[in-house]
Each structure stands twice: as structure tokens, then as C-alpha cells.
Structure 1
Amino acid sequence: MAKRSAGILMHRARGKGLEVLLVHPGGPFWAKKDAGAWSIPKGEYEGEDPLACAVREFEEELGLRPDGDFIDLGEIRQAGGKQVVAFAVEGDFDPSALLSNDFEMEWPPRSGKQQSFPEIDRAEWFSLDEARVRINAAQADFLDRLVELLG
């Protein structure tokens, strides 16, 4: 069975148009990756309400509990088979206030040493055009659905 994740696409209106908040995964494997590496804040769930999971994961990864009128953006399937359901919410977040939880892994490989890394190392607001370049290709559908729903 495919893994399932739920996440939140936070958006805001600015003078130059709509902006969306994306996050960059932390850790050594992602350190030098940019285009296609960014994502909505999300996390895996099993037997849990997807929206409850999405809210919890957003708070764990960014340090802010999102609040507002959540819009269901549906589900996509990523290249690796993971299914991701997303919800949009209007809001604001100061990327310099990022307070991510950490994970541990053996690093360097085969060293026997455990190191701690932030789950998310950066969060940034992007215009829709820039977000389409940065976001995981499958998740770009969420951007299109957001634009359609907001009119």
C-alpha cells in the first residue's frame, strides 16, 4: 500500500499577486538541491483525519499552527508512489521564524555516527511562476487547483 501524506499550501495576496509558502527539506541529501526539491509542509498519516495531520505537521515543521478556512485541494500521486492530499489556507508566516523539528541519521554514511538535522531547513514565499520551478513536479497540480478555486 502506498504511503499517504497530508499537507497545507499556505497562500497570501501581495501587490505583485498570489504567493505560496514552500519548504525545503533539511539534511545532507537535499543540501545542494533546489529546483524540484521544495514542497508543501506535509507528513505521513495512517488512520488519522488528513486535515488534522496536515495542521499538526505544519506546526511541527514550521513552528506555527495554521488557522483559517481550509480548502480541500484533493490528492496527487508523486513519482515514488506516495499519495499526498493537500489543503489550502490563507495566512502569513515569517520565514525567519522557522522552528523545525529535527531527525537523526547516520552521517557520514557508514561512519557509525548519528547526527541531527532539521526536518525543514528553509521556508520561503514564492510567486506562482517561481513556485512551479521549485516545487516537487507532482505537487505543482496543487498550485493549479488553488488558482482555479480562488478564481
Structure 2
Amino acid sequence: MRDYKSLAHTRWDCKYHIVFIPKRRRKVIYGNLRKFPEEIFHELARRKNCKILEGHLMSDHIHMCVSISPKYPVSHIASYLKEKCAIEIAKNVKGKQRNFSGEHFWARGYFVSTVGLDEDMVRRYIRDQEKNDANREQYDLDW
């Protein structure tokens, strides 16, 4: 049985696979910065009544499986997560004290796909990112 959520007049189960990349796809998500966005994303999602079901941080991109209420557009949630996370990174990791609105940590766009009935497959794909990336690099070297 699927886990449907409810609003006043709606029953829903809306899950999305979202991917962001840092500006210029730099490999900057490592060390101290690797654990930091995870905590921020979960807190920001809670503020918008969303839930991050699965997530994985690579050095140059982030994959997430997010359950989003139908009252919010996916673009709004993706923009909100990226914007507020960039501000928190500037404040807590880079040590900036003010003028956060100009921070550009993430690239402009994002990838989104509906999960639908393939939720287990998408969550497994996100979980196995390290392995998938290693296989791709091995394939690239075989050329």
C-alpha cells in the first residue's frame, strides 16, 4: 500500500528526483562542506512541509528524492533549497558576515524528474551514486 499524504481536500503522493550542480560544476563538495548541506536541506525541506527521502552528495553534484506537497511548484522548492543553502554555506563555511543575497554557490538550473511508481529504482540509483560514477569513469578510460 502506498503512503498517501493528505491536505484539506487532497490525497497525494508526489515525489521528484532533483539534481543540482555547483557553479561551473566545480568539485567543491568535500570535507567540511560535504556534511553541511545535508543538514541544511533537511531543515529547509521541513520548513516547506517537504521531506527528503533519499539524497547523495558527490563532489560536483547532489541527487535528492524529495516528497513535495502539490500546493508548492517543484521549481519553487528547488529554488528555495538552492538559495537558502547557498546563504547558509556563505555564513557558516565561508565565514561571511553579511550581504548574503549575492551568493552564487549553485548553478542556475537543475534537473527534475517525477518518480512515479519507480521510487525504489530511483532511490537505489541515488544511493549507489559512488558506484555508478566509478563505473562511468572506468568506461571513459576504456575508450
* TM-score of the pair, normalised by structure 1: 0.31
* TM-score of the pair, normalised by structure 2: 0.32
